[in-house]
Amino acid sequence: MKKIAVFCGSSLGFSEVYKNDAIKLGTYFADNKISLVYGGGKIGMMGALADSILKKNGEVIGVIPGLLRHEEVAHSNISEMIVTKTMSDRKVTISKLVDGYIALPGGFGTLDEIFEALTLSQLGIEQKPVGILNTNGFFNHLIKQLAVMVAEGYLKESNKNMLITADSVEELITKMNTYKAPKITKVINKIVS
């Protein structure tokens, strides 16, 4: 993987543990020549992640909707900033650039972005690895909710398993590098044929 999208909080959260995770992931990217594609912010987890890569002269590409760029939140010092018209355009632009997706702790924005990536996989539109770094069990309840969705018949076990989970950066990247997307009959093909 040469370029990975990372979705994470525009807030730092209350525990240093998560900020340290962002820094660990960023350092790994810079050391292994992986480019970061992210929301383009300088605040919260996003800022900590971007800064840890820039500090080691790694590549950071921001993709930000024009609306957010004018706020005091856009990073002014990254390798490249792509400005999109809308929030939806941002997702499309990011998906065209990257080989995989990672979520770190965050809120609604983070969940929206990682679940869109999973939805693209579920529909067979993309075959890229999608992973979450589950330090400190941050995503445990979310993982349990996915199990409830399977048990209640709303999510296929095989689709649930598309979400890669790991407790460390190294484990996460290893799992993502060896990820094999399940064969899916594209819904779109089914509709048009």
Is residue 64 a contact point for ligand AMP (CB under 6 A)? yes
**H-helix or E-strand spanning residue 3:** strand 3-7
**H-helix or E-strand spanning residue 192:** helix 187-192
The per-residue DSSP string of 38-68 comes to: E--B-SHHHHHHHHHHHTTT--EEEEEEHHH
Closest CB to ligand AMP: residue number: 109
Is residue 8 a contact point for ligand AMP (CB under 6 A)? yes
Using the rule CB under 6 A, which residue among 1, 3, 23, 68 binds ligand AMP? 68
Is residue 41 a contact point for ligand AMP (CB under 6 A)? yes
Check: CB of residue 21 under 8 Å from CB of residue 134. Answer: no
- CB-wise, 24 or 91, nearer to ligand AMP? 91
Using the rule CB under 6 A, which residue among 33, 76, 108, 193 binds ligand AMP? 108
Q: Interface with ligand AMP by CB under 6 A: which residues?
A: 7-11, 39-41, 46, 64, 68, 73, 106-110, 113
